[in-house]
Amino acid sequence: MERRIPVKKELYMESLQKHFRNSPDLVNKTFTFNRQTIVIHFINYQVNKDQLERDLLPPLTNAKKPWTMESLKNAIPLSSSEEIKDFSSLARELIHGGVSVYIVGYEEVVVFTLPKQDHRALNRAETESLVFGPQIAFTESLMTNLNVVRWRLDTDDLTVEKFLVGERIQSEVRVIYLKSLANEENVQTMKQRIEDIVIDEIEDSTVLNQLIEDSSSTVFPQLITTELPDRFCNSIAKGRVGVLVDKSPTAIIGPMTLFNFFESTEDTYMRWNIGTFIRMLRFLSMVISIVLTPMYVAALTYHYEIIPSSLLVSLGQSRATVPFPPVLEALLLEILIELLREAGARLPTKVGQTMGIVGGIVLGQAAVQAGFTSNILVIIIALSALASFTAPSYMMGSAIRIIRFPMIILAGAWGLIGIVFALSFLVIHLLRQKSLGRPYLAPIYPFEASALRGTIFRLPFQKNAKRPSYVMPKDESRFDKKRAGTKRDRSSP
């Protein structure tokens, strides 16, 4: 049932006032000239006043002859003019920064959109900090973000589709992909999942992300959320599907595999050998982070046999004063580290640094001296915490830190058997995961040798002429490998 716009002036004004519950911010102005009465409405803070007074009011009031709907739409030099018959859409337009122009006697209203939006300018990335490479991050404004994406992906192949999500409060969502490259099934899955969302409102793109992910019970993220336009655009250029949400500075990309979460854009900007080394380092640090503390717990609780004789004395003596079993000791320290991290994240930057010093040095040192923990464990925990922070994706880092806890408990309960059980469980768990319906462990399983070059390693670009096929791009070839490999330098005279 559409409510029509009342024709009578008093009724019109009254019903608008009523709709906005006599909001003091609803400004109305009535002009009468050329034997015509015109009422304009707008919401005080939603409208760009400068533009209103410069571009709309002067031509409106200086007219020589009476306005008609047609002339109103065409003679005012503003691009966004819309004729509205429906009362509720009129109200919505007003909220979005519209200025309604009502000519008494007409059944329609013309709305000019002169929105005023205050948001921050493009800034440096905060959560995904880089040493070098492009530094800008997405902002909260969808239009700005789209602008950046369009600017980076300079092709008319770029397709942007609009969705509205949220039943009570709606958010604008854009699905972005390259028409000629992105796999249709992937795009369909992504669109379908966004359309299928039933929720009153989404707070942020990260919420949307959780709503469209394949499995919500796992700790592993299945779609990458990033605030880096370069990462977003590079992924789209590989044939993936991106999602931008209004009011959110994080973009979503899919399908992703586990190994993509350990890629940083920086690997791409670095020389290939150094990039590969750093990427390997990250994989190694993931293993260290997961296995090191449980191994300590297992060795000291059950398998004293596997401790090398040279370490035995120092390990034993450091443990001698500790009143708790190793599991508890390790859990306590792990929680301590988590506390530090959390406190550091909540506090303002300057205080946060002090926090690190207090926690790291004072607490650690005091804990050891008080016989609260063994100093070797402090090293191990610090090392594995450090290792977990090397994951370029904050989500993945958190996932790894979380799975350490059950690992430690299992190691404390059944030693090496517990650890191997946990690792096996983890592997099978990862095998079962999917990202947008695509296997999560690609290119290891399903195995694809050529994709290892760009995913696990970072081989020279000339060698990496194929797009990874687990993304299922429509065109796997990036460039002609043969031509790319030759440099036709001018020979010296």
Nearer to other proteins, 16 or 451 (CB): 451
Q: How far is the CB of 283 from other proteins (least distance, A)?
A: 14
Nearer to other proteins, 58 or 371 (CB): 371
Residue 335 and residue 330: Cα distance in Å, rounded?
Answer: 9
Strand duo 98-103 + 36-43: pairing:
antiparallel
Q: How far is the CB of 408 from other proteins (least distance, A)?
A: 12
Residue 292 and residue 383: Cα distance in Å, rounded?
Answer: 9
Q: How far is the CB of 22 from other proteins (least distance, A)?
A: 52
Query: How far is the CA of 263 from the CAs of 38, 62, 213, in angstroms?
Result: 60, 61, 20
CB contact at 8 A, 235 and 253: yes
Residue 216 binds to other proteins (criterion: CB under 8 A)? no
Residues paired with residue 32 on neighbouring β-strands, in sequence order: 37
Q: How far is the CB of 446 from other proteins (least distance, A)?
A: 7
Residue 416 binds to other proteins (criterion: CB under 8 A)? yes
> Where are the alpha helices (H) located in 260-325, listed in sequence order?
265-269, 272-301, 309-320
Residue 309 binds to other proteins (criterion: CB under 8 A)? yes
Q: Which stretch binds other proteins (CB under 8 A): 74-82, 134-142, 188-196, 313-321?
A: 313-321
Residue 127 binds to other proteins (criterion: CB under 8 A)? no
Residue of the chain from 414, 460, 461, 469 that contacts other proteins (CB under 8 A): 414
Q: How far is the CB of 45 from other proteins (least distance, A)?
A: 49
Nearer to other proteins, 396 or 441 (CB): 441
Contacts of 430 by beta carbon, 8 Å cutoff, 6+ apart: 220, 258, 440, 441
Nearer to other proteins, 115 or 325 (CB): 325
Backbone φ and ψ for 479, nearest 5 degrees, come out as -160, 175
Residue 151 binds to other proteins (criterion: CB under 8 A)? no
Q: How far is the CB of 415 from other proteins (least distance, A)?
A: 7
Residue of the chain from 394, 421, 457, 461 that contacts other proteins (CB under 8 A): 421
CB contact at 8 A, 187 and 258: no
Nearer to other proteins, 85 or 429 (CB): 429
Query: What track of x and - describes contact with other proteins for positions 267 through 306 (by CB under 8 A)?
Result: --------------------------------xxxxxxxx
CB contact at 8 A, 436 and 322: no
Q: How far is the CB of 186 from other proteins (least distance, A)?
A: 15
Amino acid, single-letter form, for residue 406? P
CA angle 237, 242, 246 (to 5 degrees): 135
CB contact at 8 A, 427 and 440: no
Sheet with 251-254, side-by-side order of all strands: 158-165, 171-178, 241-245, 251-254, 224-226
Residue of the chain from 326, 454, 468, 473 that contacts other proteins (CB under 8 A): 326
Structure tokens given for 188: 């369909």
**Dihedral through CA 452, CA 457, CA 462, CA 464, nearest 10?**
20
Nearer to other proteins, 345 or 428 (CB): 428
Residue of the chain from 58, 66, 105, 371 that contacts other proteins (CB under 8 A): 371
Q: How far is the CB of 313 from other proteins (least distance, A)?
A: 5
Q: What is the DSSP string of 71-131?
A: HHHHHS--S-EEEE-BHHHHHHHHHTTEEEEEETT-S-EEEEE-B----PPP-B-SSS--S
Q: Which stretch binds other proteins (CB under 8 A): 204-212, 232-240, 283-291, 421-429?
A: 421-429
Residue 404 and residue 444: Cα distance in Å, rounded?
Answer: 23
Q: How far is the CB of 284 from other proteins (least distance, A)?
A: 15
CB contact at 8 A, 253 and 240: yes
Residue 387 and residue 204: Cα distance in Å, rounded?
Answer: 29
Query: What track of x and - describes contact with other proteins for positions 78 through 117 (by CB under 8 A)?
Result: ----------------------------------------
DSSP structure class, residue 44: G
Strand duo 109-113 + 171-178: pairing:
unpaired
Query: What track of x and - describes contact with other proteins for positions 423 through 462 (by CB under 8 A)?
Result: xxx-xxx-xx------x-x--xxxx---------------
> Which residue ranges make up the site for other proteins (CB under 8 A)?
217, 299-309, 311-313, 315-317, 319-322, 325-326, 371, 409, 413-417, 419-421, 423-425, 427-429, 431-432, 439, 441, 444-447
